[in-house]
């Protein structure tokens, strides 16, 4: 069953987009105004999109933790669209791709049951984990988006992951400059998806 989007408007009706993820979404190591959520809302409004971006990122969150808090987060915020970006901490902790897939599957099911549209963002594991692990994780995200008929967004850090100038010293989180590179690509993707899903 497809998770269709509600009517999207550029008039006075405000649309709420929930960013549901881990420390990358939460804005670890950044001033609040430099977070992806704040900068994305600014970008969308600069492009005449009347949206409210809600930062539902929790540092250290795995897909298991996200699964446990998703239902009450939806109830509390009642978003028009969810951007789901979890799985990075699963990789860092060495969780099997099958576990990550099961948790994401449960979250997508919850979103479907609540009739909440979603965009799923995939995770790119380091090559040190081996080709088999990388392929399993890749196939997990791709099969879930096919099963639920939802858009798949590339790894959030894809534009900057190997660029030290746009990453914090830990090599895991984007710097303020890195966020400014992430946001235009993400904002344009969301805008295009909104258009496609409402045609």
Burial class of residue 162 (count of CB atoms within 10 Å of its CB; 0-12, 13-18, 19+): exposed
Three-state DSSP at 62 gives coil
The structural domains of the chain, with segments of one domain joined by +, span: 15-197
> Can you give the pLDDT of all 199 residues of the chain as single tens digits?
445 444 444 445 678 999 999 999 999 999 999 999 999 999 999 998 889 999 999 999 999 999 999 999 999 999 999 999 999 999 999 999 999 999 999 999 999 999 999 999 999 988 889 999 999 999 999 999 999 999 999 999 998 988 889 999 999 999 999 999 999 999 999 988 777 756 5
Q: What is the DSSP letter of 177?
A: H
Strand order in the sheet with 15-21: 51-57, 15-21, 81-85, 118-121, 152-153
CATH of domain 15-197: 3.40.50.1110
Q: What is the pLDDT of residue 199?
A: 59
- Helix axes of 97-113 and 131-148: crossing angle, nearest 10 degrees: 10
Q: What is the pLDDT of residue 12?
A: 53
Q: Which residues does residue 32 pair with via DSSP β-bridges, in sequence order?
A: none
Looking at the chain, list the stretches that DSSP marks H as alpha helix, in order from N- to C-terminal side: 23-26, 36-46, 63-77, 88-92, 97-113, 131-148, 176-197
Q: What is the DSSP letter of 22?
A: S
* CB-based contact 49:9 (threshold 8 Å): no
């Amino acid at each position: 069953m497809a998770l269709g989007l509600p009517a999207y408007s550029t008039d006075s009706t405000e649309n709420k987009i929930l960013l549901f993820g881990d420390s990358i979404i939460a804005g670890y190591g950044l001033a609040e105004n430099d977070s992806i959520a704040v900068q994305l809302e600014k970008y969308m409004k600069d492009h005449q999109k009347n949206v409210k971006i809600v930062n539902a990122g929790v540092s250290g969150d795995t897909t298991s933790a996200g699964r446990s808090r998703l239902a009450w987060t939806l109830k509390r915020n009642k978003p028009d669209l969810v951007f789901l970006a979890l799985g990075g901490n699963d990789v860092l902790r060495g969780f099997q791709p099958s576990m990550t897939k099961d948790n994401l599957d449960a979250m997508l099911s919850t979103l479907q049951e609540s009739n909440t549209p979603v965009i799923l963002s995939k995770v790119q594991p380091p090559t040190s984990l081996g080709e088999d692990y990388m392929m399993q994780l890749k196939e997990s995200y791709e099969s879930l988006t096919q099963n639920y008929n939802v858009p798949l967004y590339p790894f959030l850090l894809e534009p900057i992951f190997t660029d030290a100038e746009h990453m914090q010293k830990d090599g895991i989180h984007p710097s303020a400059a890195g966020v400014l590179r992430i946001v235009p690509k993400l904002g344009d993707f969301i805008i295009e998806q909104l258009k496609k899903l409402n045609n």
